[in-house]
Every structure is written in structure tokens, then in C-alpha cells.
Amino acid sequence: MGVPGPFPGSAASPDAPVPDREEVDRALARLGAEYEAIETSLLALQDHAGRRLLEGAELSGTTKERWAAAERSITVLWSLFDAYTAVLTAARDLRARRRWPSVADLAELTELLHGGEVTVPGVDAAGGPVVPGERFSLEGLVERMNGLYARSLDVIVAADAVWSALPARIDLLAAELQRTRSLAHSVGVRPGEHPAGDDLERITDELVRLRAQVIADPLAFWVSSSTGSSAPGGGRPDTARYDRAARALEDIRREVAAVLDVRQDAERRLMLLRDVLSRADRTLTEARQARGEVLAKIAASEVPAVSGPSTVLHEQLVAAAEYRRRAQWHRLSPLLDSLEERAEDELHRARESLTAVTAPLAVRAELRGRLDAYRAKVARHGLAEDPLLVERYDVARRMLWSAPCDLRAAEQAVWRYQEAAAEALTLEQVDGKGES
């Protein structure tokens, strides 16, 4: 709905010359086009789907108040339009009297089109009647209709947008919730037995309340545009509560899916857990045996103590097997997750214990290998019978192959043998060069 432009010779300029015939005809044509646009807008407003929904709905809250005001505005709009139609019809009839209107006719037409000659029931800013007989120019009449139309259309468009967006989405989410609930019940996720079951009940109640509130008070779920636009319907539906419910349902759906995976894979995971804990126990047993061997064979060595198997983990493994037997998948799922992580930690701890207690034996083995490697090297150079080398080799060998073995003394002995072997090899190379 638009506002007609100024006319020449209007009442606002009493001293202006009276417009000629062509100017009046152009003004009537423009007002006729304006009339068609206003009528089309009002009929579209009357037939708007949102308006029909508002008329048939049991409203409450903000929507009830704003729709009551909008209905009054629409009633006044038609009254204003009827007055506008009457003036335009009178102007057209006056113009149709003569092909060449007189100066008096032109002056009357000018006053009719631009003067304050339109008498209608007055309207306040809210669209309600005030003082009967309020007078308008056609421009003022159209301006008043534009304001009432924009406010009424804003209510209708906003309510229709919310009703078009939210109820259908809520229904789809409710259907997904029912499917999730059925699946959850099949794996033991029920209210009072599992937190996710309680959450499902809470989301169900929230969707029921949300849908009822959206149907009764759609404008409570409308966020006006933050850009400051005055166009009717500027804004968007407020989906914050719906989005929270959708995210909560998605979290529950993933949790139920995880529980379902547990049901399908529980036996395999239990077997793997038994295997990991069994390997941890065997490793710890081996570590305890190795510790005894080290204490017997290695002198003056600090050997860490080895703990026994984890009683708590074995008890929880028994509990997990019982949960599987009773099909308590919602309890089994978090327990298996915890057990798998802790069982790997237990195996890692057992291996570290074995490595720590066998470290002295590894050192002894390395010294033995180094001693034999140097003996083989001097033998290749024909120095195996060298008295000093034989003596130092025997000393080092007795230390390394006796129990308990003093690792520090044995290491010194091996080092002395290496030193003597290096010197002998150097002399042998020098002598070889001299002879050549």
C-alpha cells in the first residue's frame, strides 16, 4: 500500500493556480492505480492463511492481545477504504460530467482530492475508534491505512511463520523421540533405571508443552529483526527451546546406540578383557620370579618390589559378566569402557615391572656379550694366548658367571680386559708395519 504524491493546486497552497484538465486527469489516474493497489492488499490480507488460522485458534498471551488489536485495525481499515472509495467515486463522477471541465469544476476536484474533505470515524495509534467525524485528505487517509495495514500484517505474517516452522518440526522430533524410546527400552534404558531414560521423559514433556504453547501463543516465539527493518514480518521464529530439545535427544540417541553396540559386541569385548588381564597377571608372575632370580644372582643391586594382580579389576570383570548374563546393557556399557582402559593400564604396569626387575640381568648379559666379542676379536689376531689378556679374561669371566654377581666390579673387569685387548691389538699392528 503506497501514499499518493502531491497534486498541483492543492488546498495546502490556496494561492496556487487551479490545475488544468490534464493535471487533474493524471491525478485521478494515479489515485485510481493507488485504489487498485490498496484493494488488492486488503483482499490479500483478508484471504491470508495466517489470518484464517488466527480467527479459528484459541489464543493466549501476547498473541491474543495483539490479534485483538489487529482485528480492530482491520475493521477500521475497511472503513477507511470505504471512505477513500467514496471520495474517489465522487471525484470520478464530477470529472465525467463534462469533457472540458469548467474552472469551478477543476477547483472543486482539487479541493476534493487534496482538501480535508474525507470524513470517517477517527482512529488512534492502536487502531481503535476515537472521535466520530475526523477529517482527512486522501494522502492522510492512505498514510493512516498504511500504518494500520503494516501493523495488522506484521501480526498475521509473524504468527503464520511460527506456525509454519515450529509445529511440524516438533512433530518430527516427537516421532524421532518415540523411535529412540522404543530402542532405549529394548536395551534397558528406562526411567528410574538409567539417566537417559529420565531425560527421555523430560524431553517428551517439554515437547508436549512447547507444541501447546506454540499453537496458543505463536508470537511468544517470534524474534523481531535486529536490523531495525519496519517491513511486516521482519524477524524469525525463535527455535531456542526446540533446538535444546533436539540436541538433548541426539545425545541420548548416541548413548542408546553405544549401549546397543555393547549388546552386539559384549562377548567379544569380555573375552579381550579376560585375555588382557590374564597377560597382565602372567607378566606380573614372571616379574616376581625374575625378581627372585635377580636377588639370588646379582649382588648389591636394588630391585623394585612387584605388586600382585589387581583384585578390583577382576571383581569388576566378574560384575561385567553378570551384567551381560542379566542383559543389563546400560550398566555394562560404561563398565566395559572403564575396564578396557584400566586393563590396558594394568598390562602396561606389569610390563614396566618386569623390565625394571630384569634390568640387572640385562646388564649382566650385555657385559657377557661384550667380553666374548672382544675375546673373539683378539683370537682372530692370534693374541688369544697373551698372558695378560688370558688373566684379565679369566677374572672378568669368573665375576660374570658367578652368583651373586657384583655388576660394578664385573663391569670394571670387562673394561680392563677391553683396555688390554686394545693395547695388544695396537702393538700387533705396529709390529706388523715394522716388519713390512
Q: Where are the alpha helices (DSSP H) in 96-137?
A: 103-114
**DSSP of 279-297, one letter per residue?**
HHHHHHHHHHHHHHHHHHH
All cell numbers assigned to 406:
657384583
What is the per-residue pLDDT across 257-313, written as a single tens digit (0 to 9) for each? Answer: 877 887 778 888 899 999 999 999 999 999 888 888 888 788 756 778 888 888 899
CB 65 within 8 A of CB 216: no
Q: How far apart are CA 85 and CA 90, in angstroms?
A: 8
pLDDT on residue 103: 64
pLDDT on residue 14: 43
CB 223 within 8 A of CB 238: yes
pLDDT on residue 2: 46
What is the per-residue pLDDT across 1-42, written as a single tens digit (0 to 9) for each? Answer: 543 333 233 333 444 455 566 776 787 788 878 888 888 889
Query: What contacts 64, CB < 8 A, 6 or more positions away?
Result: 217
pLDDT on residue 192: 83
Instruction: Report which DSSP code applies to 129.
Output: B
What mean pLDDT do residues 325-331 have? 77
What is the per-residue pLDDT across 346-357, written as a single tens digit (0 to 9) for each? Answer: 999 999 888 888
CA-atom Rg of the chain in angstroms: 49
Q: Give CA torsion, residues 197, 199, 202, 204, to 10 deg.
A: -70
For the chain, the average pLDDT equals 81
pLDDT on residue 127: 46
Whether 64 has a pLDDT exceeding 90, the answer reads yes
Percent of the chain at pLDDT above 90?
Answer: 29
One-letter amino acid at 103 equals V
What is the per-residue pLDDT across 375-433, written as a single tens digit (0 to 9) for each? Answer: 898 888 888 788 888 888 888 888 888 878 888 888 899 999 888 888 888 887 766 55
Most confident of 40-49, 102-111, 289-298, 326-335: 40-49
Taking CB atoms within 8 Å and a gap of at least 24, the contacts of 423-428 are 424/378, 424/381, 424/383, 424/386, 424/388, 424/389, 425/377, 425/378, 425/381, 425/383, 428/381, 428/382, 428/383
pLDDT on residue 240: 94
pLDDT on residue 380: 86
